[in-house]
Homo-oligomer: A and B are copies of this chain.
Amino acid sequence: MNPLKNSKVAFFGTGNFHKFNEARYVLVEYKISVAMLNLKCIEIQDDNLETIAKTSAIDAANKSNLPIFVEDAGLFIKALNGFPGPYSSYVYRTLGTKGILKILGNNKSRDAHFLSVIAFCDPQGQSKPMTFQGRIEGKIMLEEKGSEGFGFDPIFEPLSGNGKAFAEMTTVEKNKYSHRGQALRRFANWYEDYI
């Protein structure tokens, strides 16, 4: 029996509490509760986030036997040919924000974007995962600012963010602009009719 038939719940396959928290704030606006499932899913190496997210979603659905979504995101820096891109989490853990600032140095070309891809897969439904994307343009700041959020948030200033870094915003404020907030809203709009 589909556990979602009589209640609006979305299962989020992630081990990242920050992502779960951002999802919770967006989806509550759609009266959808988010349940975090800390599954160890396959994450492939690929330059395309959508391909990575789709593969993970299929694996998450197989492992949980639940309709489930996963989210993959990356920071793409134009002057660095898109680096760190799909490997942002690994690069954050090894080089950190300071490593990125060091590579860029005083480079005037600081354009970057964050991309988020949500992939949803239902083991009872069609085999192909649905995907939902969000993208925010911005700049890599000259120094770290703020202590909210996670990952590269202290060095990313969204173009429309009034000069604030993501890490200087509350979760609700970041969700307004962010790649993940956009992808979550696109997902929620579709999901509220699906369930």
Q: Which residues of A are interface residues toward B (Cβ below 8 A)?
A: 42-45, 47, 52, 80-87, 90-91, 93-95, 99, 102-103, 105
Q: Complex: how many Å from CA A87 to CA B95?
A: 13
For the complex formed by this chain, how many copies does it contain in all? 2
Q: A83-B95, A90-B87, A91-B83 are in contact. Are A45 and B43 (CB under 8 A)?
A: yes
Minimum Cβ distance to chain B for residue A59 (Å): 10
A83 CB contact (under 8 Å) in B80, B86, B94, B102: B94
**Most chain B CB atoms below 10 A, which of A90, A99, A102:** A90
23 contacts between A and B (CB under 8 A): A42-B44, A43-B45, A44-B45, A45-B45, A45-B52, A45-B86, A80-B99, A81-B94, A81-B95, A82-B94, A83-B90, A83-B91, A83-B95, A83-B99, A85-B90, A87-B87, A87-B91, A95-B103, A99-B103, A102-B102, A102-B103, A102-B105, A103-B103
